[in-house]
Amino acid sequence: MSISMPMLKPSIAVVSAGAMGSAVAKRLVTAGCTVYTNLDGRSDAAHARAQDAGMTNVPLETLVAESKWILSIVPPREAFAFAEKIRAAVVEKSLERSTSIGTGARGEESDPSWVFVDCNAVNPEAVKRIGGLFRGTSVRFIDAGIVGGPPRPGYDPTFYACSEGEGVLEEFAALSQYGLRVSLLKGPGTGIGDASSLKLCESMMKKGSIGLFMTMMLTAHRSSPATADALMKELSISQPGLMDRLIVTVPEGIPKAHRFVYEMEGLGEFVGGGEADMFKGFARVFERVGRSLSGDKADIETLMRGVEKARELRETPTSK
């Protein structure tokens, strides 16, 4: 008579504990997974989010030793540097583990490999460079693009994923039993860079529209406050759906503007040609908003005044 052993739930690393990372971690922890993170150099807010999510803060070396899956969800500018740190830690740990056999704390039977999942909003060439860091190591690499906002009750974003091998993709898809929504990009011509391409194309609409809204509002106000108010009134009549989106996304985009700068620049590189200028322009708008947020707040006040005017008009519809 054989006795079946209970399957150990995976130990997963999620770095860092931003809004997305902490929410993904919380979903995994709720499903019974152990989620490690490293908060070196992170803010008090990040520490608080990690604690709320049930993440375990450990040194990077411990994170690598205890985790098979390493999900990189960091500010895009940090994506390559973080991957370099993981590669260095993996190389060192591989040497230590070269003669070890059996099941360790990670719960993986005699499998010394790791899987590094880059979930960042970087352009395809950048993600290929990140993946290239792990060639010749014990790390398999997945390019994943998270489309949607942070997980919350009743809602899950989608992890679109691709890799050079379908085996590791199927393993990643199995994490869906722990609360992740995974959609695999497979088939002729697919490979590393495709998930990042999909993510960036989706960002053209989502974050590009925020850049367009901010540009429109700041330019109208530059003419005069009356022009800005008249613009909101016109939108409430002719483009009510767009104005509803403005009301939600502009306030959400203001504190993230400094992060959007790098993403828009990446979009420009991705698109190329003259079309890239549009996204470079949005990068400058986000840069301006970020400076205002940390400076005199004048542009922030202009944007929020426009949002409040839009809310007022939506609550009390007017005719031309």
- Domain shared by 238 and 111, yes or no: no
In angstroms, the CA 211 to CA 175 distance is 34
Nearest to 319 by CA among 228, 221, 238: 238
- Domain shared by 170 and 228, yes or no: no
Residues 6 or more apart whose CB falls under 8 angstroms from that of 240 comprise: 314
CA-based torsion, 266, 140, 158, 71: positive or negative: negative
Q: What is the pLDDT of residue 113?
A: 83
Containing domain of residue 158, as a range? 11-192
Rg of the chain over all Cα atoms, to the nearest angstrom: 22
CA 306 to chain centre: 28
Percentage of the residues of the chain whose pLDDT score is greater than 70 = 92
SS3 190: coil
- Pick the more confident residue, 142 or 99: 142
In angstroms, the CA 122 to CA 225 distance is 37
88: pLDDT strictly greater than 70: yes
- Domain shared by 183 and 211, yes or no: no
- Domain shared by 29 and 123, yes or no: yes
Q: Tell me, yes or no, whether 262 lies in a domain.
A: yes
- Domain shared by 153 and 256, yes or no: no
- Pick the more confident residue, 9 or 241: 241
Domain ends where: 174, 192, 210? 192
Domain count of the fold of the chain? 2
Q: Tell me, yes or no, whether 3 lies in a domain.
A: no
Q: Tell me, yes or no, whether 77 lies in a domain.
A: yes
- Tell me: the pLDDT tens digits for 227-237? 999 999 999 99
Q: What is the pLDDT of residue 110?
A: 41
The strand order across the sheet containing 11-15 reads 56-57, 34-37, 11-15, 69-72, 114-118, 139-147, 158-162, 181-184
Q: What is the pLDDT of residue 112?
A: 52
2: pLDDT strictly greater than 70: no
Check which CATH number belongs to the domain holding 121 and give it. 3.40.50.720
- Domain shared by 255 and 167, yes or no: no
- Domain shared by 77 and 152, yes or no: yes
Neighbours of 180 (CB within 10 A): 24
Q: Hey, what are 269's tokens?
A: 């590189």
Residue burial 229-255, b: 16+ Cβ < 10 Å; e: rest: bebbbebbeeeeeebeebbebbeebbe
In angstroms, the CA 37 to CA 16 distance is 7
Q: What is the pLDDT of residue 102?
A: 47
104 phi, psi to nearest 5 deg: -105, -165
Band the pLDDT of 96: cuts 50, 70, 90.
confident
244: pLDDT strictly greater than 60: yes
Domain ends where: 145, 171, 192? 192
26 phi, psi to nearest 5 deg: -60, -40
Band the pLDDT of 98: cuts 50, 70, 90.
low
Answer whether 293's CB lies under 8 Å from 255's CB. Answer: yes
Q: Tell me, yes or no, whether 60 lies in a domain.
A: yes
Q: Tell me, yes or no, whether 275 lies in a domain.
A: yes
Looking at residues 301-315, what average pLDDT do you find?
Answer: 96
SS3 16: coil
Q: Tell me, yes or no, whether 89 lies in a domain.
A: yes
- Domain shared by 55 and 183, yes or no: yes
171: pLDDT strictly greater than 70: yes
Average pLDDT of the residues of the chain: 91
Which of 90-104, 121-135, 181-195, 304-318 has the least mean pLDDT? 90-104
